[in-house]
Amino acid sequence: MKRRFVITALLAALLLLPVQARADLTIVGHYAAGDNSFDIGTFLRDSEKGALLGISHKVSITFGPGEWASFVAFWRKAENTQSGSFQFVGSYKETNTDYLSLLTVSAGPGVQFTINDKGGTFSFVLAPGDFARFDADVGSVAAFLK
């Protein structure tokens, strides 16, 4: 059953990628909360490397190697922000795709990632208990993109 889920997740993520990004995809980290899920991964097309974030296999956003640092900065700031309510941390607009997806990062009782894509707008809240693992995943993606 778990193998079927992983295969389905990989296929869904591949289908969400813009055509120019379809290539070798590696899901670095998968997070789940209720019916929602959040994936962080890398892809390689020819010699071009990239990163992606996806929510519930419905929307995704990609980053080129030079764009990943802006996400890392949002993540670091969000990781260190503690609040009873969500506070805006930053946003990133995708480039070089047919639909310029928008990622918004907010922090409070967790870190909320919201992606607006042609598939709609979806959010995922990463729980504080997952911060250390996600931080390691962010580092793995950064190492891949170097």
- Per-residue pLDDT of 25-48, as tens digits, reads 999 999 999 999 999 999 998 889
Tell me the two tokens of residue 128.
């504080």
**Distance of alpha carbon 32 from alpha carbon 28, whole angstroms:** 14
Nearest to 51 by CA among 129, 141, 130: 141
**Distance of alpha carbon 37 from alpha carbon 29, whole angstroms:** 10
**Distance of alpha carbon 12 from alpha carbon 1, whole angstroms:** 16
Give me the helices (H) in the chain, please.
2-16, 68-79, 131-145
28 or 22, which is more confident?
28
- pLDDT tens across 60-112, in order? 999 999 999 999 999 999 999 989 999 999 999 998 777 789 999 999 999 99
**Distance of alpha carbon 26 from alpha carbon 61, whole angstroms:** 15
Domains and CATH numbers, the chain: 2-145 (3.30.2450)
Nearest to 123 by CA among 132, 110, 114: 114
> pTM for the full model?
0.81
- Mean of pLDDT values over 1-9: 44
